[in-house]
């Protein structure tokens, strides 16, 4: 199969990432990438500061260099929850377009959820599952049963939960949001639970010391118990990246509450990301 290389840019609430992909016979393969642990907004709904606009502009200059290095003929750039909530996002869009020619556009939470589910189907070949993706600014969930059934984008922000400080109060916030969903323990018989996103990858590495394709409820609970009362510096010493040290326990709480809500004691991890999903979609593989 012959195809052009494509660069996918993901400007998330908690990081900025770009990857160049090429298509293979049955999937896509990354050729190179860059990642910056950078929060577009310090909290959901806040405007993007002038300094953060400058940093993001600098990242897009790196994206151009990455695309040129790997002979990429097209750049697709998307932004997620922080951009959806920031009133001045159009200012950043205009500056990036004027300086680099790249059109950064916002995708909806339901689009994120659908991409994650279709990618999970492609990567696992499972026919019946619940998929979820945890970002710093929102949580996307989808129900898949032979075809995509439903998608939800939930206003659960690790950035905002961290400002609550009280983990019990944060747990109630998460539980109350999940209780609005029609998916629950009673109607999830036969479904697997599949998760994606940096929070799950970090949890898996901290739990197992190496990559494994699943983590259990008890393992996540154990890691949460270890980290919840530690300071940010102590979490970094434990192995948590500096960019996640203040919010990871709240991400673990989200994982635990989702597992309890759908009655699953194991979550399988996919190697996919929003960038992978967009590349698969571009090459018409999902």
Whether residues 114 and 251 share a domain: the answer is: yes
Residues 6+ apart with CB under 8 A from 211: 204, 205
Residue 189 has pLDDT above 70, yes or no: yes
Residues 81-89: what's their mean pLDDT? 90
Higher pLDDT, 9 or 125: 9
C-alpha pair distances (Å), 2 with each of 22, 24, 145, 221: 9, 8, 32, 46
Q: What CATH code is carried by the domain that includes residue 19?
A: 3.30.420.40
| % of the chain exceeding 70 in pLDDT | 99
Among residues 159, 99, 116, which one has the least CA distance to residue 10?
Answer: 116
Last-in-domain residue among 106, 140, 172? 106
What is the spatial distance between Cα 216 and Cα 19, in angstroms, rounded to a whole number?
30
Whether residues 100 and 132 share a domain: the answer is: no
Whether residues 95 and 144 share a domain: the answer is: no
The pLDDT, as a whole number, for residue 148 is 95
Residue 1 has pLDDT above 70, yes or no: no
Whether residues 209 and 120 share a domain: the answer is: yes
Give the three-state DSSP class for 10: strand
Last-in-domain residue among 79, 106, 133? 106
The pLDDT, as a whole number, for residue 252 is 97
Q: Per the structure block, which two tokens stand in for 115?
A: 């991409």
**Beta-sheet pairing, 5-11 with 16-23:** antiparallel
Domain limits for position 198? 109-269
Residues 68-94: what's their mean pLDDT? 94
Residue 281 falls inside a structural domain: no
Whether residues 101 and 168 share a domain: the answer is: no
Q: In total, how many domains does the chain have?
A: 2
Residue 72 falls inside a structural domain: yes
- The distance from CA 177 to its chain's CA centroid, rounded to whole angstroms, is 18
Give the three-state DSSP class for 270: coil
What is the spatial distance between Cα 87 and Cα 93, in angstroms, rounded to a whole number?
12
Q: What CATH code is carried by the domain that includes residue 246?
A: 3.30.420.150
Residues for the chain: how many in total? 286
Whether residues 145 and 229 share a domain: the answer is: yes
Among residues 211, 187, 207, which one has the least CA distance to residue 255?
Answer: 207
Whether residues 39 and 125 share a domain: the answer is: no
Give first-to-last CA distance, the chain, whole Å. 16
Q: CB burial class (10 A; 0-12, 13-18, 19+) of residue 95?
A: middle
Higher pLDDT, 285 or 187: 285
Whether residues 27 and 167 share a domain: the answer is: no
C-alpha pair distances (Å), 170 with each of 95, 96, 143: 37, 36, 25
Q: CB burial class (10 A; 0-12, 13-18, 19+) of residue 150?
A: middle
Residues 182-196: what's their mean pLDDT? 86
Whether residues 260 and 122 share a domain: the answer is: yes
Give the three-state DSSP class for 281: helix
Whether residues 114 and 101 share a domain: the answer is: no
Residue 274 falls inside a structural domain: no
Whether residues 94 and 202 share a domain: the answer is: no
Residue 278 falls inside a structural domain: no
Residue 183 falls inside a structural domain: yes
Among residues 5, 164, 176, 149, which one has the least CA distance to residue 74?
Answer: 5
Last-in-domain residue among 89, 106, 123? 106
Whether residues 240 and 146 share a domain: the answer is: yes
Residues 6+ apart with CB under 8 A from 177: 154, 155, 156
Threshold 0.85, pTM exceeds = yes
């Amino acid at each position: 199969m012959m195809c052009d290389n494509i660069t996918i840019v993901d400007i998330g609430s908690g990081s900025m990432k770009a990857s160049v992909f090429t298509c293979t016979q049955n999937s896509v393969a990354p050729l190179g990438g860059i990642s910056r642990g950078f929060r577009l907004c310090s909290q959901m709904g806040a405007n993007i500061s002038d300094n953060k606009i400058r940093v993001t502009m600098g990242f897009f200059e790196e994206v151009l260099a990455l695309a040129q290095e790997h002979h990429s003929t097209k750049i697709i750039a998307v932004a997620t929850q922080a951009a959806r909530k920031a009133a001045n996002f159009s200012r950043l869009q205009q500056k990036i377009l004027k300086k680099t020619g790249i059109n950064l556009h916002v995708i909806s939470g339901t689009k994120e959820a659908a991409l994650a589910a279709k990618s999970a189907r492609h990567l696992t070949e499972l026919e019946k599952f619940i998929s979820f993706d945890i970002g710093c600014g929102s949580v996307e969930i989808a129900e898949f049963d032979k075809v995509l059934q439903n998608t939800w984008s939930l206003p659960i922000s690790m950035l905002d939960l961290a400002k609550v400080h009280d983990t019990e109060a944060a747990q109630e916030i998460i539980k109350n949001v999940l209780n609005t969903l029609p998916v629950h323990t009673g109607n999830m018989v036969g479904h697997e639970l599949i998760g994606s996103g940096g929070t799950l990858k970090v949890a898996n590495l901290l739990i197992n010391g190496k990559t494994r394709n699943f983590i259990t409820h008890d393992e996540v609970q154990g890691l949460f118990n270890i980290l919840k009362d530690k300071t940010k510096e102590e979490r970094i010493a434990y192995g948590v990246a500096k960019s996640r040290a203040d919010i990871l326990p709240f991400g673990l709480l989200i994982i635990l509450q989702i597992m309890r809500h759908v009655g699953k004691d194991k979550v399988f991890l996919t190697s996919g990301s929003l960038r992978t999903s967009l590349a698969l979609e571009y090459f018409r593989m999902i």
